[in-house]
Amino acid sequence: MIFRLMTVAASLLVLAACSSPPYTNVDNAGLQRLLDEGAALVDVRRAEEWRQTGVVAGSDRLTFVDASGRLEPGFLDTLTERYDPNEPLVLICRTGNRTDMLAWHLAENMGYTRVYNVRDGITEWIRRGLPVTAG
């Protein structure tokens, strides 16, 4: 288990250093379009963040990393059990940093072909006055 966590962390660091992402960044309009098309939206923040800001309606809440930045045990297994790598998968966090790293990993190492990162996260969604539901 520790080896797997170290491998994921190392992969994320290497991928973050590359220049052209193997996934698509989207803004709020892109997120809304994907939601209207039925794409899955995964909010990877922590429970206290969901409670603080709320979530975009229809979000699946699945914590990616703990408050110290460590990968949550079982996260990748749960994500891959729930989501087909050939279906659109939209990732959202607070500002887009966590999901940027995760999107790289899913696209480069796990065979996900239609990964979308909400570029400015839920922060921009809320700033624009778009709706959220209780977290």
CA 135 to CA 126: how far, in whole Å? 13
Whether the CB-CB separation of 59 and 42 falls below 8 Å is answered with yes
Q: Report how many domains make up the chain.
A: 1
Q: pLDDT, tens digit, for every residue of 114-124?
A: 999 999 999 99
Asked if the structure places residue 65 within a domain, the reply is: yes
Q: What is the CATH number of the domain that holds 104?
A: 3.40.250.10
Asked if the structure places residue 134 within a domain, the reply is: no
Q: pLDDT, tens digit, for every residue of 26-71?
A: 999 999 999 999 999 999 999 999 999 999 999 999 999 999 999 9
Which residues span the domain enclosing 41?
2-127
Confidence of residue 101 (pLDDT cuts 50, 70, 90): very high
Asked if the structure places residue 135 within a domain, the reply is: no
Q: What is the pTM of this model?
A: 0.85
CA 25 to CA 130: how far, in whole Å? 19
Whether the CB-CB separation of 22 and 112 falls below 8 Å is answered with no
For the segment 65-92, the average pLDDT, to the nearest whole number, is 97
